Amino acid sequence: MLCYTYILQCNDGSYYTGSTKNLDKRLEEHMLGLGSKFTKKHLPVKLVYFEEFDRVDDAFYREKQIKGWSRIKKEALISNQKEELKLLSACKNKTHYKKL
């Protein structure tokens, strides 16, 4: 069974990261205000990124990893900017990173 890690963009531009076994059902729950307290307060939401995994624990680990990232690093992932993502991962002081 496939599992998913996903990123939603909320109406205020913020991002929400989650994981689920059923992406379509979970998106519907978020859009109906049943997904999480955070997304309920920031409707509507739209799916901007997802990854598939074979194991639930891998999807959950990835969710926790992405949740710890800065906004700019999440945006590099969403827009598939692999080189920028590498730079951000290597940068020790992320507050001083300047976008190229």
**Helical H runs in 1-100?**
23-31, 37-40, 56-67, 71-78, 82-90
In tens, the pLDDT along 49-58 reads: 999 999 999 9
Arithmetic mean of pLDDT over the chain: 90
In angstroms, the Cα distances linking 48 to 40, 80, 100 are 17, 11, 23
* pLDDT at residue 76 greater than cutoff 80: yes
Q: What is the pLDDT of residues 16-51, one digit of tens each?
A: 999 999 999 999 999 999 989 999 999 999 999 999
pTM passes above 0.85: yes
Domain 1-68 is in which class? alpha beta
- Indicate the domain borders of the chain: 1-68, 70-100
